[in-house]
Amino acid sequence: MSTIAPQRLYEEQRLFRAYRRSHDPHLREQLVERYLPLAHSLARRYSRGGEALEDLEQVASLALLKAIDGFDVGRGVAFSSYAVPSVAGAIKRHYRDSGWMVRPPRDMQDLAINVARVSDELSSATGAPATAAQIAERMDVSVEAIVEAREAYHAMRCESLDTPHHNGDDEGASLLDTLPGPDGDFARVRDRITIETLLNSLDHRERLVVQLYYQHNLTQAAIGERLGYSQMQISRILRAAVQQLAYLARRPPPRRLSASTTAHPPGRARRSLESRA
């Protein structure tokens, strides 16, 4: 191995120096053919299913061409040490700039992509789905940040309402056809808006636990496993959060709220929270 690496480095530098002197397109083509498998392997590494692999390979290939033209052979390092971060950065920028249907903040986009990659690596190594605590330990960030990043990652792709809905009974129906009609839904929408507004009064941890319990229908034990707490701790956090929400829901609404909002107190939303806690 030690005798092969220097020989490959010498051949690589020879090709780059010859290309720099002559700008011969045939030499450039040789370099592209030599490192195109590297670019495609990076595209596969960052592929997450939502984006077509062919599109990622095209992004990686264009980044490879720029890396070949920008590489300084005089630095005496292997081309791969320069090309890998260049191509990977181009793929990440592609995801960040054009791969999101709903765009979270840029730092959250980058974190979400890295979380997905680390999650895949841990799952491949252990043979089991990676927990938020495991990913947080690997990336040295908080568990709450990992959960938020996972939620943000779902914003990369949104299904069209015209997408066929395969549900056995009606194969020709679209997702739009499965939505409920307007009658009787306004109260539930109003309650949901009220709850979302009240959630802003909670601290980050309490809001996350309430959302996972009520909106994602996770059990207290499952939430504890995700966040690294015991079921008893989750129960206490949830009880305190619900009590605070119930108290706020009973308070008179601020004057700046419209008459249509104040005319319907969030009683049903409060009772729903209290009954589940």
pLDDT at 99: 56
pLDDT at 262: 38
Output the average pLDDT for the chain: 75
CB 252, CB 201: distance < 8 Å: no
Give the pLDDT band of residue 35 (cuts 50, 70, 90). Answer: very high
Give the pLDDT band of residue 96 (cuts 50, 70, 90). Answer: low
164 φ/ψ angles, rounded to the nearest 5 degrees: -60, 140
Give the pLDDT band of residue 131 (cuts 50, 70, 90). Answer: confident
pLDDT at 263: 41
Angle between helix 53-70 and 25-46 (nearest 10): 140
Q: Which of 1-5, 106-110, 211-215 has the lowest mean pLDDT?
A: 1-5
- Reported as a single tens digit per residue, the pLDDT across 136-181 is 999 998 988 888 888 777 666 555 555 555 555 555 565 555 555 5
Name the pTM for this structure. Answer: 0.41
- Reported as a single tens digit per residue, the pLDDT across 197-228 is 677 778 888 888 888 887 788 888 889 888 88
Domains and CATH numbers, the chain: 4-98 (1.10.1740.10), 106-156 (1.10.10.10), 178-276 (1.10.10.10)
Burial 202-240 (b: 16+ CB within 10 A, else e): beeebbbbbbbbbeeebebeebbbbbbbeeeebbebbee
